[in-house]
Amino acid sequence: MSILVNKQSKILVQGFTGTEGTFHATQMIEYGTQVVGGVTPGKGGTQHLDRPVFNTVADAVKATGADVSIIFVPPAFAADAIMEAAEAGIKLVVCITEGIPVQDMVKAKNFLLGKSTRVIGPNCPGVITAEECKVGIMPGFVFKKGKIGVVSKSGTLTYEAADQVAKAGLGVSTAVGIGGDPIIGTTTKEALEMFMNDPETEGVVMIGEIGGGMEAEAARWYKEHGTKPVVGFIAGQTAPPGRRMGHAGAIVGGADDTAAAKMKIMTECGINVVSSPADIGATMAKILKK
């Protein structure tokens, strides 16, 4: 099963012929991902990486049947790219772009209301179903096929968690890097819910960070509806209040935004919280052996 993407997913690359799009599309193709084409306005009718290039997402969907899009478009145009993909009927949009203006994402998020399109990101590493399909910028070799889902705000900690569960002999079903911006498409709770409903996922690693309330929201949902073990980690335990750390959304604005507060809420809701990412794999292995 997995969630969001699999070997049947047909991927379209927006910003296909640019430097970033070219590099990461090449990596995705080498991983075995079914990249069916790309979009670069003005270059429609040409070929790139032995795939067709289209002027619009609508043209690309009509010609290829693409159902997933990945966006490597500059920040000023990325929100428009999200809305164009949704308008064309793309089911899953993975937006890698960092630095999209907040007001642009507000507009895009409002545009998506009532539509069936799900967005991952922006400012994220993407989604990978281990050894099947990579829609993003993560190093594919780290992800070994297995039964643990990963949802994370941090790209590098996504890779660390995948490596940990692989070394523990468990492997990854799907890993979702949701992004660290103040406004993102898919929340921690929504990803956690998808993993709870996936028959191939037996446990979930949930990685958060200071700022915002997504981890607390996910933990409270889990307390009422959780059916599988979750190991949690919060980055930024030594961060001073009021200072942004790395991600645009990683700023402590209130008492519940601190790492300590989030870890307390998660523990109270039945999540197995670790204080170091080095303990993620061993903790999950120990829980599943019980």
How far apart CA 71 and CA 52 sit, in angstroms, is 16
* Domain final residue, candidates 89, 120, 151: 120
Strands 11-14 and 35-39, sheet pairing? parallel
> Domain check: are 181 and 52 in the same one?
no
- What tens digit of pLDDT does each residue of 85-103 get? 999 999 999 999 999 999 9
> Domain check: are 93 and 170 in the same one?
no
Tell me, what's the pLDDT at 108? 98
Percentage of the chain lying above the pLDDT 90 cut = 87
> Which parts of the chain sit beneath pLDDT 50?
none
Among 18, 216, 16, 4, CA closest to 119 = 4
- What tens digit of pLDDT does each residue of 36-84 get? 999 999 999 999 999 999 999 999 999 999 999 999 999 999 999 999 9
Number of domains in the chain: 2
Tell me, what's the pLDDT at 256? 66
> Domain check: are 163 and 198 in the same one?
yes
> Domain check: are 88 and 176 in the same one?
no
247 is catalytic: yes
The angle at the Cα of 136, spanning 248 to 2, to the nearest 5 degrees, equals 110
Among 225, 189, 204, CA closest to 158 = 204
- What tens digit of pLDDT does each residue of 119-132 get? 999 999 999 999 99
Contact of 38 with 12, CB cutoff 8 Å: yes
Q: What is the CATH number of the domain that holds 35?
A: 3.40.50.720
How far apart CA 68 and CA 76 sit, in angstroms, is 22
- Alpha helices, DSSP H only, in 129-249? 155-167, 188-196, 214-225
> Domain check: are 114 and 142 in the same one?
no
In a domain, 213, yes or no: yes
Within 8 A by CB and 6+ apart from 132, the residues are 2, 5, 6, 7, 32, 145
> Domain check: are 80 and 164 in the same one?
no
> Domain check: are 153 and 59 in the same one?
no
How far apart CA 39 and CA 61 sit, in angstroms, is 10
Tell me, what's the pLDDT at 290? 75
> Domain check: are 87 and 161 in the same one?
no
Helix (H) / strand (E) element for 262: namely: helix 259-268
- Report CA Rg, the chain: 18
> Which residue out of 24, 48, 225, 247 is catalytically annotated?
247
In a domain, 143, yes or no: yes
In a domain, 42, yes or no: yes
What residue numbers bound the domain in which 181 lies?
A: 138-289
CA atoms within 13 A on the CB side of 144: 11
Q: What is the CATH number of the domain that holds 235?
A: 3.40.50.261
Contact of 27 with 40, CB cutoff 8 Å: no
